[in-house]
Structure 1
Amino acid sequence: MSSPLVVAVVALLVFTLASTATSHVSSSSSPSPPAQSSSSGWLPARATYYAASDPRDAVGGACGYGDLVKGGYGMATVGLSEALFERGQICGACFEVRCVEDLRWCIPGTSIIVTVTNFCAPNYGFTANGGGHCNPPNKHFRLPIEAFEKIAIWKAGNMPVQYRRIKCRKEGGIRFTIDGSAIFISVLISNVAGAGDVVAVKIKGSRTGWLPMGRNWGQNWHVNADLKNQPLSFEVTSSDDLTVTVYNVAPKNWNYGQTFEGKQFES
């Protein structure tokens, strides 16, 4: 018959081995790290394309940039789904997009840089996984075919991509296109470098103080004020809390429909 001491030793040995085995299984079954580390900034989404009927669209998409070619955006643009569009605040932001996973259609080692100029509206006649590409909660990029074909073969259709927010690089300064009538003035802010998207605008005439402008839609800003026959200055704040102040960018004899160019954010 085994002594109590021997039984205790054997029991302790079995418990130790079991604990070691359990610890090993727990470690090996922990979730594997993501393919991209969080520091890389790449996030998953999907993308489709469209063939633009007329790039000189007078509205220029949901951000209101007008003629995208004349405005310097060309076909390096994107419409975002509701999950990314932020009700238009993100208009003007820049993203880098690359094709992933689908080895049949991806063009290896390529990526594109696009500016947000439009909104990809949801289609609730379809489910988010059954044709409603831009339905919530989908993160979706709708690209001109000219941009799409730089990273994938057109036959790819609705393809997986990765994206990351980057700083915008623009030629020239911030552009201010003035519209309105009587005591209402509307200003389109475009060609913004750095963060790209604008979160606050103030306007000043030579006979006024600084007047906060409200977002009308996209990057169109407005204020009820009579600023005719006054040189105009602007204070523009981007989403990264940087501000550029442009003094007397529009001369005293400015008129509706004109565009003026001022200082620029660093890119």
Structure 2
Amino acid sequence: MGVLQSIFLYLVLLQACIKVSSYRDEEWKSATATYIQDKDGSLITEGACGYGDIHKVDYGKYSTGLSTILFNKGSTCGACYEIRCVDHILWCLIGSPSVVVTVTDFCAPNYGLSSDYGGWCNFPSEHFEMSEAAFAEIAKRKSDIVPIQYRRVKCKRTGGLKFTMSGSYNFYQVLITNVGLDGEVVAVKVKGTKTGWIPMARNWGQNWHCNVNLQKQPLSFEVTITSGKTITSYNVAPANWQFGQTFEGKQF
């Protein structure tokens, strides 16, 4: 019996270790990358993930847009990727250093151009349209398009999840940012002191909504990420919360 118990405990611990290290051990995959020129080397315009000015959510300097097949209709928003430039002696930096970026935007296809010249985000190409600051850490800025390798990694965040309120009297929407671990939110529930738990629908990017009047009551949130882990932040927003305000909850 002692031997069987030891084997069972070993298998449980092994399974836990696999879950913890799943992103770290993910194999490198091949793709291409370009960058968006900006005066401060970042992506600051509102993107398809709904983050607004992404400097305010700490995604600005190291961020990226994804081609259609990787963006997956916005469900990949907030995910983190490690990227390195490979197999190009002229443009890749020596030693193929890597950089970690957060998905904040969609790289739209351009079917008027070929996939190897301007139509880099055409389906089914896997392409990263990086911030200039992030791109400069793996390749020379004067390059056009470079071959890369990428893999999913865990997101390292400071502080808790952030909830930004918007909407109207009978339409409530919340933008969720600063998500650790998986980075991707796949399900959200909200609860007021006058309601039960209400499932929210993805509006676009990482904006979630429900058609309920939630004003004048404290709000709690239940957030689930890709791996299935759920965290509940109780009474994040006070009863006098206002649209446009941002509140901080727990972190994964």
Q: Which residue of 2 aligns with 1:72?
A: 58
Cα deviation, 1:26-85, whole Å, max 9, x if unaligned, reads xxxxxxxxxxxxx6510000000111368685x621101112112111210000000100
Q: Post-superposition shift, 1:127?
A: 2.6
Structure of greater Rg:
1
Q: Which residue of 2 aligns with 1:42?
A: 28
Contact 1:128 1:137 in 2 (8 A): no
- The SS at the match of 1:147 is helix
Q: One-letter code of the match for 2:103?
A: V
Correspondence for 2:217: 230
1:220 equivalent among 196, 201, 207? 207
Q: Which residue of 1 aligns with 2:142?
A: 155
Residue 180 of structure 2: aligned partner: 193
Query: Do residues 261 (structure 1) and 248 (structure 2) align?
Result: yes
Q: Which 4+ runs in 1 deviate beyond 2 A? A: 52-57, 127-131
Q: State the one-letter code of the partner of 1:122.
A: P
| Amino acid in structure 2 at the alignment position of 1:62 | A
Deviation at 1:144, TM superposition (A): 1.4
**2:59, 2:250 → 1: CA distance?**
19
Could you tell me whether the CA contact under 8 Å between 1:56 and 1:66 is conserved in 2? no
Q: Which runs of 5+ in 2 are unaligned?
A: 1-24
Corresponding residue for 2:191?
204
Q: Secondary structure at the match of 2:194?
A: coil
- Tell whether 2:84 aligns with 1:98: yes
Give the aligned CA root-mean-square deviation in angstroms: 1.4
- Pairwise CA distance, 1:157: 1.1
- 2: CA distance, partners of 1:40 / 1:125: 34
1:123 shift after superposition: 0.4
Conserved 8 A contact 2:109-2:121: yes
Which residue does 2:125 correspond to in 1? 138
Q: What is the count of residue pairs matched by the alignment?
A: 226
TM-score with structure 2 length normalisation?
A: 0.86
How far apart, CA to CA, are the structure 2 residues paired with 1:201 and 1:229?
Answer: 20
**Ranges in structure 1 where 5+ consecutive residues have no aligned partner:** 1-38
C-alpha distance in 1 between matches for 2:226 and 2:43: 28
Give the distance between the partners of 2:175 and 2:133, measured in 1 at CA. 26
Identity %: 55
State the alpha-carbon separation in 1 of the partners of residues 98 and 43 from structure 2.
25
CA distance in 2, matches of 1:209, 1:186: 17
Q: Contact 2:36–2:43 (CA<8 Å) still a contact in 1?
A: no
Partner SS for 2:142: helix
Rounded Cα–Cα distance in structure 1 between residues aligned with 2:65 and 2:34 = 10
- State the alpha-carbon separation in 1 of the partners of residues 210 and 64 from structure 2: 29
